[in-house]
Amino acid sequence: MKLEEVKERIKKSITWCPGCGNFGILKAFERAASKLENVVVSSGIGCHGKISDYLILPSCHGIHGRVPPFLTGIKLANPDLTVVGFVGDGDALNEGIEHLIHAAKRNSDITIFLHNNGVFGLTTGQITATSPKGFKSKSTPKGNLEEPLNPTALMLVSGATFVARGYAGKVEHLSNIMYKAMKHKGFSFVEILQPCVSFNNTWKFYGRKVYEIEGDNKNDFEKALKLSYEDDKIPIGVFYKVEKESYEEILLNL
Ligand code: SF4
């Protein structure tokens, strides 16, 4: 079968809801990954996880929340690979939060793209760790009682050496961030604001709030943390980038 036919067949097999933010993420990643070689991907459980099936790359599904340790193993086995994981907010911040924190802490040379839609979409709409306070869902008919977790701030304080935020509605901008994240040596993390049209439709909300920061912020940790907490307007861009020895470099040089 020719490559074009494979692409057409994959396109027809996509089961995301029409209008889902995942389409923008897929497009942005395809553009970014086309500039690189030896890319391997894994994804977790949730709507985001289907992205593994829609890419013509070596890929596999992890189990719920376990993408980071899986990627660390791949990178250790073959350090020449660019190792990329797609995770969801429920997947990585409810089920697998400890794995994410430890991967950032040890500065594993892997890249994590978090599809943050603030809801469990695949199971038809329950709150996750990033759902806003007051959010009405199937699991919280009177509104979410808890404050949402801030994934970007969490990764900064956990030791990630590249931290960024992108938006599924700004594909070119997101693609550039994804490329930089994959090129970074050490743990790179990108929170991607992803509207879920079926259970948390945030297209209009983000359309009003999101703005691009000027240039990349490097080395200034305090500024990065400040950016991650801005909520009047929502900044996107590279918030933080520092050079540091990766876990694999330390371990393989012992
Ligand atoms: Fe996308 Fe939400 Fe539909 Fe899942 S349920 S495919 S996240 S719109």
Determine the atom of ligand 1 nearest the C-alpha atom of 117.
7
The residue nearest atom 1 of ligand 1, judged by CA position, is: 20
To 10 degrees, the CA torsion angle through 125, 131, 134, 135? -30
The predicted-structure confidence for 85-109, as pLDDT tens digits, reads as follows 999 999 999 999 999 999 999 999 9
Q: Is 116 helix (H, G, I), strand (E, B) or coil?
A: strand
> In the prediction, which pLDDT does 62 show?
86
| Beta strand extents in the chain (DSSP E only) | 39-43, 59-61, 82-88, 111-116, 162-167, 188-193, 210-212, 234-241
With a 6 Å cutoff on the Cβ, whether 117 touches ligand 1 is yes
> In the prediction, which pLDDT does 168 show?
98
> In the prediction, which pLDDT does 135 show?
97
Amino acid letter, 224: A
Query: Which residues of the chain have a pLDDT value below 50?
Result: none
Q: How far is the CA of 119 from the centre of ligand 1 (A)?
A: 9
Q: What is the Cα–Cα distance from 241 to 163, expressed in whole angstroms?
A: 7
Contact criterion met (CB below 8 Å) for 102 and 58: no
> In the prediction, which pLDDT does 1 show?
82
Give this prediction's pTM: 0.97
**Backbone torsions φ then ψ of 10, nearest 5 degrees:** -65, -45
Q: What is the Cα–Cα distance from 122 to 25, expressed in whole angstroms?
A: 17
The residue nearest atom 6 of ligand 1, judged by CA position, is: 16
Q: What is the Cα–Cα distance from 20 to 200, expressed in whole angstroms?
A: 10
**Which residues lie across from 88 on neighbouring strands?**
115
| All domains in the chain, ordered by first residue | 16-252 (3.40.50.970)
Among 15, 17, 23, 192, the mutation site with the greatest number of ligand 1 atoms within 8 A of its Cβ is: 17
